[in-house]
Structure 1
Amino acid sequence: MPATKRPDDTPASIEERVVARQESLSAAERKVARYLADHPDEVAFSSAETLGRATETSDATVIRTVKALGYSGLPALKKILQGTVRERLTPAGRFGKDLDDLGDDPDQVLSRVLTESIDLLERARGTIRPDSFAAAVSMLVGAREIVVLGYGGLGMLGTYLALRLSRLRLRARSAVTSGFLLADELLPLTEDDVLVVVAHQIVPTEIDVALRHAHDVRAKVILVTDMLAEALGDRVSVTLSAPAGNSQLFSLQAATLAVFDALILAIAVQDREPALLALTLMNRLRGELRGDPLPADDTRTSRRRNGSRRA
């Protein structure tokens, strides 16, 4: 019988075992073996009866094939395949697969990332509803305060959005603390505020608690997401669907950033005069910090007069 290990003493994969043993298998067994190799994710969580139906054979043929491939039984094969699935689903496992797919040519990597990003932006045209976007802009413009909540890399993007909103002289802050400390960030929320939640695939406890609290105080909620629109749709005021990559490449945030920039520009267009004043004052402050001489027409009085756009 062919060996069940490679020369380096690591176990042979199911694909390698099928290739090595296919000549010794019957026609029905070869059909089952090919299915096992081609559909490892399904096999990992299927019964012998289910696999028999999928291959148009029988549960007995499935078990006989698994043993002919060198496994002690179907449970042993499923355990191995489930471990492979878990490894692939971890961040490290996904990232490792992405690196293998990209290759080691920097130009190829750049081209692939740009191509994927362009595809995400094109997809965003169809996933973001114009009426939802307009509603989000209106909520942000009318908010007493805007709190942007996200974690990990999305938390950094949330900080970017809060900064850009602040530069339009809107009261905005990012909330990236976790655990008990998040309570201090959520406590000031009122019905006049807007909570922007940035979450693509996972709803951590902090976001779940924040959504419940926003509901209790009647704060409006804008969800920016890739895959959670259906899961959280009834808990938010409006959803902006921003595709964030696919199974062929690690998560890319081109669409998320485009949504944020579009929100900023739409707010600036809607409130043109305050936006221009904010830009003027920003440039003046930067000039002072560089040590530039003050112009004769100093705007400090205007600064004191206008203050923040929200009381």
Structure 2
Amino acid sequence: MRDAQKSEAHKPRKPASASEFQNLLMQERDRFTPKMLEAGGYVIDNPKEVAFSPVSQLSARSGLASANFVRLAQSMGFAGFTEMQALFRDPLREAYPASLEERIRHSQGEQVIPNPNDVVAIGLSFAQANIASLTHLAEKLDRMPLEAAINLVLGARVVHVIGADRSFAAASYLSYALNRAGVQCVQIAGLGSSVADQANVMAPGDLLVAISFPPYADDTVTVAGVALARGNPVLAITNSTISPITEGAAEVLLVDDAELHGFRSLTALLSLVQTLMMGIAYRKRGERDDFDIDDINA
């Protein structure tokens, strides 16, 4: 009887809303495994799919095992995945699309591919999804901590940038543009030595900009951890507040991009990075009479 009472006392109080779900996941993230956190991030970012899709379909789309969603639900205090699913279902019942086949996922819904064998049709659908992603980005720019991010960059002795896998292109561009704007920047790429060794040269006053998206590159997560352990601030650019690079980050910029069967666009991500760069450039022009923004050529 005593053991039963003890077990009941330690049973987590299940969230009563999607916002409570997100808050619980963030506040108690230490008790969830990395895969459960990734599943939680997927749930938060795709409430419509979670509300009405079988867990097997969520597994196929997310690349995560079904067990991760089930264990997440149980750790949240639900009896199982079905009970957790009900939390997201009612407010979204009318909005969910009827068909899920051959679609491009993006932040504002689903884009149907009329003919998957027609590369022009695929391109047109992907372009429409990118337009929606950019629209979504434009709608939330005023809620992003862009000024705080600019302050971090301009206040740093040296800016270190890391982005692996699909984020490598954005990291390379940001590093190039920062140097063109007169901001000393080093891209951590792991060439010739490990990324951890390269991160260990960060000095006091240096900033790390970490860019990562599912399935979250191990190198980026490692370097973010090294920076935090050394006391260096981290500016995280990622897709979710549950992303492993957001923990301990000084500022977080969230961005969504279109996706077609695992091929993710960089449109919104690069637009956000360029917005950040233009903000930095105009700030520098306002502070220095001899700074010519047209010479950046980024």
| Aligned pairs (5 A) from 1:70-219 | 102-106=116-120, 108-128=121-141, 130=143, 132-177=145-190, 181-219=194-232
Contact 1:200 1:226 in 2 (8 A): yes
| Aligned pairs (5 A) from 1:1-311 | 39=54, 41=56, 102-106=116-120, 108-128=121-141, 130=143, 132-177=145-190, 181-227=194-240, 229=242, 231-246=244-259, 250-272=263-285, 274=288, 277=291
| Secondary structure in structure 2 of the residue aligned to 1:155 | helix
Amino acid at match of 1:169: G
Taking structure 1 as reference, are residues 43 and 206 closer, same or farther at Cα in structure 2, changes over 3 Å only? closer
Task: Give the TM-score taking structure 1 as reference length.
Answer: 0.54
Taking structure 1 as reference, are residues 155 and 129 closer, same or farther at Cα in structure 2, changes over 3 Å only? same
Contact 1:147 1:195 in 2 (8 A): yes
Structure 2 residues without counterparts, runs of 5 or longer: 1-52, 60-65, 71-79, 84-111
Give the root-mean-square deviation of aligned CA atoms: 3.7
Amino acid at match of 2:118: D
Task: Give the TM-score taking structure 2 as reference length.
Answer: 0.56
2-side partners of 1:133 and 1:211: how far apart? 20
Q: Work out which structure has the larger RCO, using CA pairs closer than 8 Å and 6 or more positions apart in sequence.
A: 2
Structure with the higher fraction of residues in helix conformation: 1
| Secondary structure in structure 2 of the residue aligned to 1:183 | helix
1-side partners of 2:291 and 2:194: how far apart? 35
Amino acid at match of 1:104: D
Structure 1 residues without counterparts, runs of 5 or longer: 1-37, 54-97, 284-311
Taking structure 1 as reference, are residues 248 and 182 closer, same or farther at Cα in structure 2, changes over 3 Å only? closer
Contact 2:137 2:255 in 1 (8 A): yes
Larger Rg: 1
Contact 2:196 2:226 in 1 (8 A): no
Contact 1:191 1:219 in 2 (8 A): yes
Contact 2:113 2:122 in 1 (8 A): no
2-side partners of 1:275 and 1:155: how far apart? 34
- Count of aligned residue pairs for this structure pair: 199
Per the alignment, residue 3 of structure 2 pairs with none
2-side partners of 1:156 and 1:275: how far apart? 32
Per the alignment, residue 309 of structure 1 pairs with none
The structural deviation recorded for 1:179 is: 9.5
Q: Percent of counterpart pairs with the same letter?
A: 17
Contact 1:199 1:228 in 2 (8 A): no
Contact 2:177 2:296 in 1 (8 A): no
Contact 2:115 2:122 in 1 (8 A): no
1-side partners of 2:172 and 2:119: how far apart? 33
| Secondary structure in structure 1 of the residue aligned to 2:246 | helix
| Secondary structure in structure 1 of the residue aligned to 2:256 | coil
Contact 2:233 2:250 in 1 (8 A): yes
Per the alignment, residue 47 of structure 2 pairs with none
